Amino acid sequence: MFSSYKPTWMVEAIYQITPQQLQALGIKAVLTDLDNTLIAWNNPDGTEELRHWLAQMEAAGIPVVVVSNNNAQRVAKAIEPFGLDYTSRALKPFARGIKQAYHKLGLSSKEVVMVGDQLMTDIKAANSAKVRSILVRPVVDTDGWNTRINRFFEARVMKHLQKKHPDMVWRGELNDR
């Protein structure tokens, strides 16, 4: 019943994903949610770890593309400091934005991974697009009211999933199993 919300992996934070781990899995590009995955609303410039991680990905030739439900203006402004490409109005939990993003990169669904902090939007969208996914912990605990309501349902879905899939645990890195 909840399998469409099941992430492929669960990693504490996006910056714990290394180019080597991705390459070993045949992943050539990272698609990522914006809010609370890459940046926190109260720290729009991102952390030192994030900047270091982006530099690592760039050096390895792995594009990082933001896939966000927000409008183009908001997304463009938010990611300006990082110089990333993006797909806005992605309509997560639907597959549209993710498909658009990997088509634009000239890659297949098997060659990208979707990273996000929400099962009900990011992970569900990845599963709809048949793309592997990485759930990360939200960058900050405080959210807007709409996200807070989502998180209430997320916690319930997570409980069901973890009961059914005991291997669904938070890991320090992708291949840590």
For Mg ion, the binding residues (CB under 5 A) are: 33, 35-36, 117
Q: How far is the CB of 134 from Mg ion (least distance, A)?
A: 13
Both structure tokens of 141: 């605990």
DSSP state of 11: E
Q: Are 134 and 173 in contact (CB under 8 A)?
A: no
Q: Toward Mg ion, which CB reaches closer, 28 or 154? A: 154
Q: From CA 124, how far away is CA 112, in angstroms rounded?
A: 15
Q: Are 137 and 117 in contact (CB under 8 A)?
A: yes
Q: Toward Mg ion, which CB reaches closer, 36 or 87? A: 36
Q: Are 146 and 121 in contact (CB under 8 A)?
A: no
Q: How far is the CB of 139 from Mg ion (least distance, A)?
A: 9
Q: Toward Mg ion, which CB reaches closer, 28 or 115? A: 115
Q: How far is the CB of 92 from Mg ion (least distance, A)?
A: 9
Q: Are 13 and 115 in contact (CB under 8 A)?
A: no
Q: How far is the CB of 118 from Mg ion (least distance, A)?
A: 5
Q: From CA 136, how far away is CA 21, in angstroms rounded?
A: 16
Both structure tokens of 173: 């890195």
Q: Toward Mg ion, which CB reaches closer, 11 or 28? A: 11
Q: How far is the CB of 143 from Mg ion (least distance, A)?
A: 9
Q: Toward Mg ion, which CB reaches closer, 27 or 117? A: 117
Alpha-carbon dihedral sign for residues 57, 62, 68, 70: positive
Residue with CB nearest Mg ion? Answer: 36
